[in-house]
Amino acid sequence: MERIALKFERSEKVIFENIHIAASSGKIVFVKGNNGTGKTTLLKTLVNILRIFVGSLFIFSGVVKINDPIGFSFKLEEYFGPTVFDIDFLLPYTLALAIIIVILEVLLGLFLLIGFKPKLTIWVMLLMIIWFTFLTWYSAYYNKVTDCGCFGDAIPLTPWESFTKDVFLLSFILIIFYKIELIKPIINFKNQIIVSLISFIVSASIVYRVLEHLPIIDFRPYKIQANIIENMIVPDDAPKDIWNYDWKFIVDGTEKIISTSGEYPDINGEFISVETKLIEKGYEAPIHDFSMELNGEDMSDELLNEKKLLVFVLYNLSKSNFDTSSELITKSKQAIENGYKVIGITASGIDMQEEVKNQFGFEFDFYTCDETALKTIIRSNPGALEIKSGTIVNKWHYNDFNKIKFD
């Protein structure tokens, strides 16, 4: 911090000016001086700067995820799933937990800014950030979850970036926690209650709206007007992944490890094993895990070049909401009459596909795709996409199937 200055509002008395503070990583900085020289005022200023920063960051993080609570619930499913913490009993409650967390983030940030119940607020913040710091460290160290979802799809962060962000945030919250008595309300208690209630109602209303329809802002590569074909292209000059290969051999009775960038070592010995490690991530296309397979053959190129294509996305047929199946059938027939090719796409197996087709009378073919990719495409199961020559023209939640119209 450079050139810090502060003076009393009601007088011209300067408390301090041209103050420069530098704190290196791992260093402890002491500020000392005689009584009345501005140490407490400086500390108040620092705490309030951190108060604004932490409160605003919590609000921003919550608002971004309020826009897409289903996406955040998918991230919680990863953490609770068998490949990470294996907490199966929490899996049915991921959406409810996601809603609680995102609204709580907004409210906590607001509470800190307006000074509502500061002790309770900072305690809850501290517990949350300790938990999140552990999650991001675990993800980074063991490479379990590639994106923590801290800021939804708006600002993707690598695991180590997420962990670093949480460490800084934890340190800021600890400073506020240590000097919590310096957090004073900026409005009276009655207005605090009113502002808090309004914020809760607005947050809950947005959550309800996006659950019943689709996210208000789509940050994903499958947003309307995005061209799937273009988003799958990897430029010829794009940086490639850099890998390290540790080859283990027995040479003259001694174990020997030889490292290369991928080529097989020129060595006389008995090969034992090889271990690979990603050193530097290369370019990855925005859409890299999408396919439309039929009987084991990828039909993406053919389908994405259709002039008019209507795709019903049912990422998991065992969890799909079929209450609107009659509307789905009606719209599929109307699409065909208007010259559209109509298909379904799912991650479920052929047996489940045939069962659903026979049960509900779907006349279109099902293609298969990775479930994670389908969840990314649209936050609705089922949902619908209108695609023209690879470009997504429109998207509909199943509650909005009645709004589907064809030109």
Burial of 86 (0-12, 13-18, 19+ CB in 10 A): exposed
> How do residues 120-135 score in pLDDT, each as one tens digit?
999 999 999 999 999 8
Cβ contact 16:152 at 8 Å: no
Residue 220 tokens read as 């994903």
Residue 276 tokens read as 């690979």
* 87 phi/psi in degrees, rounded to 5: -105, 75
pLDDT at residue 407 tops 90: no
258: β partners: 247
Q: Is the pTM of this model over 0.75?
A: yes
Cβ contact 258:267 at 8 Å: yes
> How do residues 146-169 score in pLDDT, each as one tens digit?
777 788 788 888 888 899 999 999
398: β partners: none
Alpha carbon 326 to its chain centroid, in Å, reads 34
Cβ contact 151:157 at 8 Å: yes
Band of the pLDDT at 278, cuts 50, 70, 90?
A: confident
Instruction: Tell me which amino acid residue 70 is.
Output: I
Bond into 215 cis (ω within 30) = no
Alpha carbon 193 to its chain centroid, in Å, reads 31
The Cα 114–Cα 273 span in angstroms is 60
Cβ contact 328:400 at 8 Å: no
> How do residues 82-96 score in pLDDT, each as one tens digit?
888 888 899 999 999
Query: What domains can you pick out in the chain, each with its CATH number?
Result: 4-212 (no CATH), 242-280 (no CATH), 293-403 (3.40.30.10)
> How do residues 218-251 score in pLDDT, each as one tens digit?
999 999 999 999 999 999 899 999 999 999 999 9
Q: What is the pLDDT of residue 157?
A: 85
Average pLDDT, the chain: 89
Band of the pLDDT at 39, cuts 50, 70, 90?
A: low
pLDDT at residue 253 tops 70: yes
Rounded to 10°, the helix 159-178/39-66 angle is 140
Q: What is the pLDDT of residue 124?
A: 96
The Cα 331–Cα 341 span in angstroms is 12
